Amino acid sequence: MDALQAPCPAEVLTVPSETTVAERRALYDFFARHWPGTGSVCEIGPFLGSTTRAIALGMLHNPRRAPGARLHTFDRFEGYYTRAALERLLAPLGETTVRRLLPPDDGSPLPGFRTVFDRLHAGTPYAHLVRATTAIIPDLAGQPVGETQRFRLPPDLVLDAVFVDGCKSWYGTRHVLQEVAPRTPPGATFVFQDYAWHTCFWIPSALALLDDCFALRWWVDHTYAFELRRPLDPALVAARIPERPSDLGRDTFDELFIALARAADARGDVRGVVAACLQHAAAFAYLGLGAEARAEILGLARLPFAAAFAFDLVDAMRSPTYRPDGRGGFEPLSIP
């Protein structure tokens, strides 16, 4: 299945978002019609909650939803959006709504946007399903994160779906998979919003290293969904996915992304082919192989079907990926 195409309520699309309309429609459709509803759902990286609304409304409208099923959503809710940027993003909602959502501008830095998130979802028909938690996903091994802030799941939580839009690093992806592994039985669905985003080579790499555990089920734009086929545990994740990309080396990345491009081509997924090539270049850049990264992007640009993805090509040539700076921020990488 390459897309989920079902009508959805207009309110699914009302929260300002960095995801596409098609991605939010697909999330609503999946949780309204295909989600089994027996367990809870974990969402990582909701930002303002456009995907929260799509998922929660789908859950609300799913007749199979168990009474205790909830949407547990986690974000750091600070540090990557300024007040001015938030005002621009929220502007289509109208000046009155923006004033209601944002605290008065007294010149001080915006402390975060958790209040904006809470106000956007308070009083909605699905509000009782949402459990939002402020949490930080470490981006590097040894990154100082307080134990009260570190992303953890309740010990008794059972999940039958995980939506991931907050894994912005190699180690962060490893950490999230280790944390959710004991909570997700076989048959659970994992939806990765950044799977085909050209900078995020760590997501397809992680799933390829666990290829006997996951099977691709559907995709829409940059979002790809997988079924967990066998039990997953933290020890297996740690054994298959090292703490740093450099622990794998170039040959492994060559093998992974050539196989990913061939698999995408076999299923007729042109975006998947382009993403695999650009993510291959991103892995090169991360390993310090700038010339190889440039050659990969330029080689892709010569292929006729790549013209439809000109924005991705230009953006990747400018900066194929980024790396954590160890202080909660990220450093864009450039190539010569």
pLDDT of residue 146: 67
pLDDT of residue 292: 97
Same domain assignment for residues 200 and 74:
yes
Same domain assignment for residues 254 and 205:
no
pLDDT of residue 83: 83
Q: Which two tokens stand for residue 83?
A: 């007040």
Q: What is the mean pLDDT of residues 313-332?
A: 91
pLDDT tens, 127-151?
999 999 999 999 998 877 766 688 9
CATH label of the domain that carries residue 144: 3.40.50.150
Same domain assignment for residues 323 and 196:
no
| Poorest-pLDDT segment among 54-63, 73-82, 205-214, 252-261 | 73-82
Of 211, 240, 269, the one marking the end of a domain is 240
DSSP for 77-106 reads -SSS--HHHHHHHHGGG-HHHHHHHSPP--
Residue 301's contacts (CB-CB under 8 Å, 6 or more residues apart) are 313
In angstroms and rounded to an integer, the radius of gyration of the C-alpha atoms of the chain is 20
Same domain assignment for residues 46 and 171:
yes
Q: What is the mean pLDDT of residues 149-174?
A: 94
Does the structure show a pLDDT above 50 at 167?
Answer: yes
249 exposure class (CB count in 10 Å sphere: 0-12, 13-18, 19+): exposed
Q: What is the mean pLDDT of residues 206-210?
A: 98
pLDDT band of residue 4 (cuts 50, 70, 90) is very low
**Residue 155 domain-assigned?**
yes
Please give the helix or strand (H or E) that residue 283 lies within, else none: helix 270-286
pLDDT of residue 2: 39
- Report whether 124 contacts 71 (CB < 8 A): no
pLDDT tens, 254-313?
999 999 999 999 999 999 999 999 999 999 999 999 999 999 999 999 999 999 999 999
Of 240, 269, 284, the one marking the end of a domain is 240
- Report whether 168 contacts 330 (CB < 8 A): yes
- For 316, other C-beta atoms within 10 Å of its C-beta total 27
Does the structure show a pLDDT above 70 at 189?
Answer: yes
pLDDT of residue 79: 80
pLDDT of residue 21: 94
pLDDT of residue 299: 96
Same domain assignment for residues 151 and 207:
yes
Of 196, 223, 240, the one marking the end of a domain is 240
pLDDT tens, 67-108?
999 999 999 998 888 888 888 889 998 988 888 888 887 777
Which pTM value belongs to this model?
Answer: 0.94
Same domain assignment for residues 197 and 122:
yes
Same domain assignment for residues 161 and 286:
no
- Report whether 76 contacts 46 (CB < 8 A): no
Domain that holds residue 254: 245-333
User: What 3-state class would DSSP assign to 44?
Assistant: strand
Same domain assignment for residues 275 and 301:
yes
**Residue 90 domain-assigned?**
no
Q: Which one-letter DSSP state was computed for residue 246?
A: G
Please give the helix or strand (H or E) that residue 132 lies within, else none: strand 130-134
